[in-house]
Amino acid sequence: DDYQADGHEHFMHKEIVEQPEAVHRCLRGRLDERFATAHLGGLNMDPREAREFRRVKILGCGSAYYAGQLGAQFIEEVARIPADAEPASEFRYRNPVIEKDTLYVAVSQSGETFDTLVAVQELKRKGGRVVGLVNVVGSSIARECDGGIYLHAGPEVAVASTKALTNMGVAFALLGIHLGRIRDLSPADGARLIAGLQRLPEQIEAVLKDEERLASIARRLSAAESLFYIGRTRGYPVAREGAQKLKEISYRHAEAYQTSELKHGPLALISPDVPTVAIVPDDDLVERNTGALHEIAARSGPLYVVTHPGVELGDVSAEPITVPKNETELDPIVLTIPLQLLAYHASRELGHDVDKPRNLAKSVTVE
């Protein structure tokens, strides 16, 4: 066991910084530029079988579930297969209908989360086709599944998942491209997404260079008792993950909300004491998103906007956190990185045990 924090104050910090290398490892040997696809031999899946799936259902707990939400959006968009994610902890208790033409995907860093493992066992009992997106090689979930994609993030010690979560996003992208290219994703779009995946490590590196500024923003955020994280469509799981991280390690209350739903719900809670972290990618919803920012600014809510270069926030008073733009479908992977650093520095600022937050375990292997 020679995995050490190596000069980092915390494992979480080390694991955040390791992400460019971790992404490299996940991509290595899996990209095929000639056929604009991804090779995933571990899936053990015949193309004839893969063409028949009519649905994809993704199961995981905690951050793995949020990664599953991102994965579902990616697969639906790129492979044009209806896809959704559900917490494995819920799925296992509701006697779900197991369909023969559904591809089930279990997601887990540890491969030992009991709720996810039991969900997989129940699926297998009823003849469901399950593949795993798992980090720990040879773990229980990896062994139960019919095949899968190893995340190759390397060991992760901090309870708050960072590099494993990022690689879950990458592995879902590989799966989406793989399925898409044997169904109806064009070679041009396959090539575009593969080039986007190859840009990820350097783009993540660029976000990490902004750490000092993110730390100073985190100091301001950590003073608030309660915060909102908002995003829509593929930005929503990003917001959920960001809020979850902050709650887990800084013990500040944070609620993730769909930007589109704010006006149908908690807008009245916005005040100078309640900051909002808004995810505003450079996509076709940018105008609608800036509309929501105006609503927040009008109620004097402090605004921090995770966005891309060139996005015009108009006259809204907001602190921008700009990250490099990738292909729209892959943007969520990069947009998540600054939120890790915000949570990390908020926790550190408040003097909490960053790597071992109270009441949480790295993997919950019991009922």
Size of the site for ligand G6P (CB under 6 A): 15
Short-list 359, 358, 354, CA closest to 16:
354
Using Cβ positions, the residue closest to ligand G6P within the complex turns out to be 62
CB of 143 to ligand G6P, least distance (A): 14
Instruction: Tell me: does residue 259 bind ligand G6P (CB under 6 A).
Output: no
- Cβ proximity to ligand G6P, 162 vs 307, nearer residue: 162
- Select the residue interacting with ligand G6P from 56, 130, 159, 194 (CB under 6 A): 159
Rank residues 244 and 276 by Cβ distance to ligand G6P and give the closer one: 244
Q: Is 194 exposed, middle or buried (0-12, 13-18, 19+ CB in 10 A)?
A: buried
List 59, 64, 280, 296, residue binding ligand G6P (CB under 6 A): 64
- Strand order, beta sheet including 148-150: 83-87, 55-60, 102-108, 129-134, 148-150
Spatial CB neighbours of 117, under 8 Å, sequence gap ≥ 6: 140, 141, 144
Least separation, in Å, of the C-beta of 116 and ligand G6P?
5
Q: Which of 14, 325, 356, 362 is catalytic?
A: 362
**Minimal distance, residue 160 CB to ligand G6P, in Å:** 6
In the complex, the smallest distance separating the C-beta of residue 291 from ligand G6P, rounded to whole angstroms, is: 33
Angle 126-129-131 from CA coordinates, rounded to 5°: 130
Nearer to ligand G6P, 45 or 159 (CB): 159
Between β-strands 148-150 and 129-134, what pairing exists: parallel, antiparallel or unpaired? parallel
Strand 102-108, strand 55-60: pairing: parallel
Site for ligand G6P in 120-139 (CB under 6 A): none
257, β-bridge pairs: 230
Nearer to ligand G6P, 113 or 340 (CB): 113
At closest approach, how far in Å is the CB of 115 from ligand G6P? Answer: 8
Q: Which of 146, 201, 210, 175 is nearest to 333 (CA)?
A: 201
Q: Rounded to the nearest whole angstrom, what is the least distance from the CB of residue 241 to ligand G6P in the complex?
A: 10
Residues 202, 30, 2, 250: is their CA dihedral positive or negative? positive
- CA–CA distance, 52 with 57 (Å, rounded to integer): 14
Residues 85-114 close enough to bind ligand G6P by CB under 6 A: 108-110, 113
> Which is closer to ligand G6P, CB of 159 or CB of 323?
159
362 in catalytic set: yes
For residue 108, which of 75, 66, 158, 157 has the smallest C-alpha distance?
A: 66
The CA distance from 102 to 363, in Å, is: 27
The pair of three-digit structure tokens given for residue 14, joined into one six-digit string: 């080390």
Angle value at C-alpha 265, between 319 and 336, nearest 5 degrees: 40
Q: Does residue 167 belong to the site contacting ligand G6P (CB under 6 A)?
A: no
- According to the binding rule CB under 6 A, does residue 116 interact with ligand G6P? yes
Q: Within a 10 A sphere around the Cβ of 152, how many other Cβ atoms?
A: 20
What minimum distance in Å lies between the beta carbon of 136 and ligand G6P?
A: 8
For the segment 342-361, give every residue that binds ligand G6P (CB under 6 A). 360-361
Nearer of residues 108 and 326 to ligand G6P, judged by Cβ: 108
Map residues 34-63 to x or -, x wherever contact with ligand G6P holds by CB under 6 A.
Answer: ---------------------------xxx
For residue 230, the cross-strand partners are 257, 278
Nearer to ligand G6P, 298 or 360 (CB): 360
CA distance 284 to 265: 24
Residues lying near ligand G6P in the complex (CB under 6 A): 61-64, 108-110, 113, 116, 159, 161, 360-361, 363-364
- Catalytic residue list: 362
